[in-house]
Structure formats: structure tokens, C-alpha cells
Amino acid sequence: MAIVKLKKITFCGMLPDKRQILEQVQAFGGLHLIPLTDPPDQEFGVPKNTEGVLEALKYLNACGNKRHQIRDSTRFDLEKVTEEVLAIKSKVREYTDTYDTLLKRIEEVGPWGDFHLPATEHLAGHRLWFYIVPKRMMKKLEGLDWVWQTVYQNNLYCYVVVVAESEPPESSMPVARTHTGSVPLSTLKSQLSQVELTLEDLQAERESLTRWITLMTVHFSEALDLADLTKAQTITHDEAGVFALQGWLPEAQIDKFSRFADNQGLALLVEDPSPEDNPPTLLDNPRQLAGGEDIVNFYQTPNYYGWDPSVVVFFSFSVFFAMILSDAGYAAVFGFILLFKWRRLGQSLKGRRLRVLAANTVVISLVWGVISGGYFGYSPPEERLVSALKVIDINDFDGMMRLSIAVGVGHIALANAIRAYRRYPSLTALASGGWLLAVVGGFCFWLSEAIDSVLLRQMGIILPSVGGVLLLLFSSERGLKRWNDLLWRLLDGSKSLIGITQLFGDVLSYMRLFALGLASASLALTFNQLAMQVYHALPGPGLLFSILILIVGHVLNLMLCLMSGLVHGLRLNFIEFYNWSVSDEGYPFKAFSKKGVR
């Protein structure tokens, strides 16, 4: 739970050695370069079709059967292979669309049989018009003046052919005309078979090209490395046969780069960041909690001089998601999905971080679901052992509202406590303490009205009063050099008190935890009741329909819960919590290093 401390280091060496030095620095990695000159506005050796190469690699890696990888690059051409892969992907998409179209046409034409439309002169100028008429509407055809014939029928529809010189008016027919087309059914099936063979051939070509995956990855990475190296050469300061290279480096790597400078005969200057500097942010968390870093960087990288909220977001997101889900059965489903994807997620660093975060969220959701007594919307009878673990009634509106508000108060109080700690020893830390007292005191006063507690009522009066005084006196950073400075400080403090409305609104935002949790539980219960009603109303087939209702309903509710948990679980962290704890935005640390497979 820390932002890595950085040092600004500067290398100075002879200009003819610059490329060699930069190559070794790139091989070491870990240095975030600082431009000492403005780089030219151009690309440096980046592959012409970068997005195309990435798209081709993704397409080949998604292939189920892969060939043995070729290591000899003498016959390898990255651009040519990329073009071949993208051409195959485009053809597969085109033929897949054709296949789907033919399949649909065969399904539509199938009931009419395999026929060839006769020429107009063979029917004395008449034509055939096709209609799919529901059986209940067949009586409307009895009075027609045209010749018509039912050529096929099933339980629901009759397939009718009308013989007429021109299309019958829509008002005279019970349904609109069906467009069967002029291509016979046998021809459509033949075309479908040919498309299937073509798709098989394209798939075989795709599998054949998978043998180049390793070389494509290596060559593409080498091209990107060369581009980074070329660009790095343009941002050094060169003068009088000497070059200067500057960058940000974690403190732990200073010794390694110092030895490198001594071995290469380079002058090295190591400095602490000055107040005018704006270093990048490099987060460092324990491996088990590093998933919070990805969530934090997805929204906003904290400033180097700020603090790392990764651990707080890691746990608070899991808690919020659990409260929104509020069902142990749903949590178990997510747990099984996570187990199924566990090995695949472990193939990358971000995947390993994500699965730990997901596992933590599933465990907390299971615990919350058990103590709230929800199992796919079903509450076990009181005589069951599992009912003894239920300590929270989600249908207790007043209790759940107080709990949601308490969670919000705790979250925002924690944010202000952290901000007060970060501001210490500045007196403005007392202002953050004032907000902490205000939010806790306000909650105590509100709670005292609900449970009629004299102690809470007294705390609800004293704490906000003390907090208001702290806000009034210490919200301003203005110095006290003249007597009127005190007046200006009081004016600044008065302006800060306007934030009480925002504090009130932010606390109320946490009521969405109760509302969404109740909504998901109510929706699950509704599907259960609907399935039960159908089961009793339709003996026999009612069992099948009730099972379908349960499956479709709970899958839909699961998707809604997942979306709500992600969106609102992150929102409460990134808007309400960040508003009171994380102020300035930074930019991520990007190491000058080699990429990809070696």
C-alpha cells in the first residue's frame, strides 16, 4: 500500500557511446526516461501495421489447434504473414455471413419443397405467390377469386400458393406475402455445402499459419524495442561530444545503475525529486492485494505526492459487490465460474491479480449471502441449521437503511482520516478531522432519533459543532501576517462549510447498496414465485415451463447483479471516496525496457 519512492538520475557519457549505453539501459529496464529535448513528431521504426499485427496475433492465438512453432526466421516475413492472416480472417467472416444467410433461406424455403419457378409464358402470364397462413385464418381464403392451393401444413401454419397475374392486394390476404426467391432448395443446399468446404479450407490455412506465432511475437516485439530505442536517442541532450540521459528510477535500483555507470565510465548524478518536479507514479502492493492497483489505474493514477488507495479499493469494492449481490447462491455460481477460469487467468500477471480480487469478492459475497439468508431468492425454514447463521434481514427496510448509511459514513470517515494523516503536520489536517467529526456526529444524531439514545444525541450535537469550528479555522492555507488575514481565513472557512451539502449527498449515495440488494433479492423471489405458480397451474408440462422460468430468470438476475455490482461498487470508490481522499491525478511509471518474448 505504497507509492514507490523515485530518484532522478542523470547519466553523462561520450556521444559515440550513446546508442550502446541506451541499449544496455533498455536491457536493464526500470528507468522512466525524462525528455531533455522535444522529440520529433514522427514514428520511429514502428511496424507499418501495428494494429494489424496485434489483430493477426490475437486471431491466431484464438485458434484451437496450433502447429509446431518454427524457430528459423530466414524465410519469415512479418508483413506478409500478417496480410495472409488478416485476409483469411476477412474471408472467414464473409463466408460465415454467407453460410448464415443460406441457412436462413433453407429454413424458410424448406417447407415449400424443392421446386423450380416456371416461366411466365408457361402459366399463360400468371405467376405463383406464396403465403404462410396461420390455420385460424384459413377461412379468410374461402372467398378469394384467385386459384390457390395448400402445398404443406404443420400444427400452426398452412403454406399456400396463389396463382394470379399480379400480386394480390395486401388487404385481400390475411398475411403478407412470403419471398421465397427464385433459387431452388437443392441449389441452396449445394451452395451451403460448398461454403462449408471453403470454411474448412480456410480453417486449415489458419491452423497452418499458427506455426508463425512465436516468430511474429518476437519480431514484432523487436520492432517495438527498436522504435523505443530510436526515440530514446532523440530525447537526450547532446552537446560538445557529450550526451546526457535523465530518468526516474526506484530507490531500490540505484545501486545496480551506479555499478553500471562505474563499469561504463559514465558520470552519474542522483537527486531527490524537487517541489517543481512531477514524477510518475509507480504502485507497489503485496501480490495478494495487487488487484486493487489495476482497478485504481483503470480510473485514475494517483499523484506521486499523494497516497495509494489500492488496498482500500480492493476490500471496499468486494464488500459493496457483496451487499449488492446479497445472495449466497449467486455467489456460489460466480465461484464455480471463477474456478473454471482460474487456470486461464493465471497465464498473465494481470489475470493472476484479477483472480485474487475475484476470489476475495466471491468469499465476502458468500459470507454476506449466508448471514443475510439468501439462496437464489429462497429463504430456508427456521428449523434448518443454515437459518441460524442468518443475522441480517434484507427485508427490514429501516435496519438495512441504517446499515447502508453506516457503511457510507465509515467509508467517508476513513477517507477524511487518511487525508488528515497525509496533511499532517499542516494545520489543514484539522480541517479534514473536522469533516470526519461532522460525518460521524451527523450519523449519531440521525441514529439517536431512530433508537432514542441520549448519548448518541449528545454526540450528534458535540461532534459536528467541534468539526464546524475546525473547518472554520483551519480550512484555509493563508498565513497570519496581518490582522485582516484572520478575517480572510474565517471567510475561507465559511466557504468550506458549503461542502456540508455535498457530504450529505455522498453519504446518501450509499443507500444504493440497500436498494440494489433488495432489488436483486426481490427479483429472484419473483421468479421463484412465478415458476411455482406455473408448476401448479399446468400439471405435467408446468414442470418444464417452471424450470425454464427459473433458469432464464435467475440468469437474467445474475447478469443484472454483475453489472450493478461492478458499476456501483466502483462508483462509490471512485466518486464518493476519491472526492474526500484522493485529490491530484498523476501519470503512470513507464519503464524503458524490452518487450515480449525472448
Tell me the pLDDT tens digit for each residue of 321-333: 999 999 999 999 9
pLDDT value of position 41: 62
Residues 544-555, mean pLDDT to the nearest whole number: 92
Cα–Cα dist 474/490, whole Å? 9
Residues 474-485, mean pLDDT to the nearest whole number: 70
What's the predicted TM-score (pTM) here? 0.77
Cα–Cα dist 20/243, whole Å? 12
pLDDT value of position 219: 83
pLDDT value of position 484: 67
| Tens-place pLDDT, residues 270-281 | 999 998 899 999
| Tens-place pLDDT, residues 308-321 | 999 999 999 999 99
Residues 203-227, mean pLDDT to the nearest whole number: 88
| Tens-place pLDDT, residues 166-211 | 888 877 888 888 887 778 888 888 999 999 999 999 999 999 999 9
pLDDT value of position 598: 47
Q: The cell 423450380 sits on which residue?
A: 116
Query: Closest by alpha carbon to 338, among 356, 315, 325?
Result: 356
Residues 512-516, mean pLDDT to the nearest whole number: 92
| 3-state secondary structure labels for all residues of 267-306 | EEEEECCCCCCCCCECEECCHHHCHHHHHHHHHCCECCCC
Cα–Cα dist 87/202, whole Å? 10
What cell does 59 get? 486471431
Q: Which DSSP helix (H) or strand (E) runs through 151?
A: strand 147-153
CB 400 within 8 A of CB 516: no
Residue 590 makes CB contacts below 8 A (sequence gap 6+) with 32, 280
Range in 390-399, 409-418, 501-510 the model is least confident about? 390-399
| Tens-place pLDDT, residues 78-96 | 888 889 999 999 999 999 9
Residues 389-406, mean pLDDT to the nearest whole number: 88
What cell does 217 get? 511475437
Residues 547-567, mean pLDDT to the nearest whole number: 93
